[in-house]
Amino acid sequence: MKPHYKRRDFLKHTLAGAVSLSPLMALLGSIERLEAADIGGDYKAIVCVLLEGGADVCNMIVPAKNDAYRAYKEVRKNIALPQESLLKITDVYGMRENMTAMQKLFSDKKLAIVANVGTLVQSVTPEDVRNGSAPIPFELFAHNTQRDQWLLGDATGSSRNGWGARIMDIFYSTHAQSYAKINTADVNTLLFSGGAKSPLHLDEAYISPNTMRSYGFGPESGDGDLGSVYQDIYEEAQNSPHKMMAAFAKRRVEELNLPNELSGLFDTVRDFAFDTGAHEVGRPLGKQLETVAEILSVKDNFPGSPKRQIFFVVQHGWDTHDSDNEHQVGYLSDSLGAFQAALDGLGLSESVTTFTVSDFGRSLSPNGAGTDHGWGLYSFVMGGAVRGGQIYGTMPQIKIDSPDAWHDRLVPTIATESYLATIVKWFGADENDLKTIFPNLQTFSQSDLGFMG
């Protein structure tokens, strides 16, 4: 694939989000580090894919053997997948028939499955939960609370900033963080909240790199009376004795100057064209991953050439109370396949790890049309550094009155912290860093599940 010169178009699609207002926590939440942690000279990135709404993973990875399949079909009833349609991935399990891209990645050992992950305050058994002898996460089946716990990396309620922000506060000084956290979704995320530096929000808005300058908002811009006054107010406010006002003004000036600071960085951006799906809710996942691939194609052009970057993307539409998730699953598979192919073409397969998170899993039995909120789920990890082609952890029994479930919901056997810590350790965090990034990690027996090389 040849370089395609489209800096103006790329900036049009990305920089408007970067001049949005910063969260208050990011303004005042951290003290600037004097020096960065030693993370080595090699480049690594992680891409967090949020399956927003709660993924019905039981119709993604399905027992394929006769007895286990019959038990699955009995509990899944009208939404059970036909046994003959399953794509074989192991002697025991198959994928949904429209997951051909993910099946190939699994076969090529670039995709791993992590079984029965979920938010936990401490390790529990289904019996512990049934008899009330162990604590469970606050507001267990609530979308926003459970999603927040995944992105905060803590189900105890003690953390107020995202685990992505905590990583970069350890890895980089404040200024060096400017290009290390990138959100290409159409929503904000707690993953980066509370850090010393706000993330870049590179979404699909329409603004040229000269727009801010033409209104007098950027440096060296004398045109535009309103813009000039606006800029002067912010410049003066940086010296305000009111700490909140000064911090806000400083951050706002940095953001308004960003289009000028990034001017020319995307001159040689590679051109990708991912599937935009059909009737997607919000910005399509394919477009978000396409933007990530384009950014990665010019990663060395960013000021300071950051050696660690975290990207956040989201696929909406997984809250399937009244439908099966066939469409979401197929589009996820196709999008991940296209993204990994782009990484292979960029020579970044070993350097970029992509992984999924979700609010929670779903109920084992249907409600007549779809499924209701659950707890444990399967997660997917993709990349050349992944020890793929395997299922990590213990797969639960998908059956009526499953011993692995409570009120028809799978009880997680792997904590979100253990799952995420395995990825973050590969990313460069040491054991002491992990204690800061995931404060409740020591409660669980595993900090490395073994799926990263």
For the stretch 123-140, pLDDT in tens is 999 999 999 999 999 999
User: Is the Cα torsion angle 296, 269, 273, 201 positive or negative in sign?
Assistant: positive
Domains and CATH numbers, the chain: 45-205+296-443 (3.40.720)
Amino acid sitting at position 71: A
pLDDT attached to residue 115:
98
303 neighbors 287 (Cβ within 8 angstroms): no
293 versus 235: which is more confidently predicted? Answer: 293
Amino acid sitting at position 26: A
pLDDT attached to residue 227:
60
Amino acid sitting at position 256: L
With 90 as the cut, is the pLDDT of residue 1 above it?
A: no
* CA 243/CA 375 separation, integer angstroms: 42
User: Is the Cα torsion angle 254, 256, 259, 261 positive or negative in sign?
Assistant: negative
Mean pLDDT of 251-255: 72
pLDDT-derived band at 56 (thresholds 50, 70, 90) equals very high
With 80 as the cut, is the pLDDT of residue 369 above it?
A: yes
Give pLDDT tens digits for 407-416. 999 999 999 9
SS (H, E, C) the chain: CCECCCHHHHHHHHCCHHHCCCCHHHHHCCCCCCCCCCCCCCCEEEEEEEECCCCCHHHCEEECCHHHHHHHHHHHHHHCCCHHHCEECCCCEEECCCCHHHHHHHHCCCEEEEEEEECCCCCCCHHHHHHCCCCCCCCCCCHHHHHHHHHHCCCCCCCCCCHHHHHHHHHCCCHHHHHCEEECCCCCCHHHCCCCCCCEECCCCCCCCCHHHHCCCCCCCCCCHHHHHHHHHHHHHCCCCCHHHHHHHHHHHHHHHHHHHCCCCCCCCECCCCCCCCCCCCCCHHHHHHHHHHHHHCHHHCCCCCCEEEEEEEECCCCCCCCCCHHHHHHHHHHHHHHHHHHHHHCCCCCEEEEEEECCCECCCCCCCCCCECCCEEEEEECCCECCCCEECCCCCCCCCCCCEECCEECCCEEHHHHHHHHHHHHCCCHHHHHHHCCCHHHCCCCCCCCEC
pLDDT-derived band at 219 (thresholds 50, 70, 90) equals very low
Q: Shortest CA distance to 347 belongs to which of 297, 400, 311?
A: 297
pLDDT-derived band at 40 (thresholds 50, 70, 90) equals low
pLDDT-derived band at 153 (thresholds 50, 70, 90) equals very high
312 neighbors 182 (Cβ within 8 angstroms): yes
Give pLDDT tens digits for 157-175. 999 999 999 999 999 876 6
pLDDT attached to residue 249:
77
pTM, whole model, 2 decimals?
0.88
pLDDT-derived band at 87 (thresholds 50, 70, 90) equals very high
Maximal CA-CA distance, the chain: 76
With 70 as the cut, is the pLDDT of residue 229 above it?
A: no
* CA 352/CA 103 separation, integer angstroms: 19
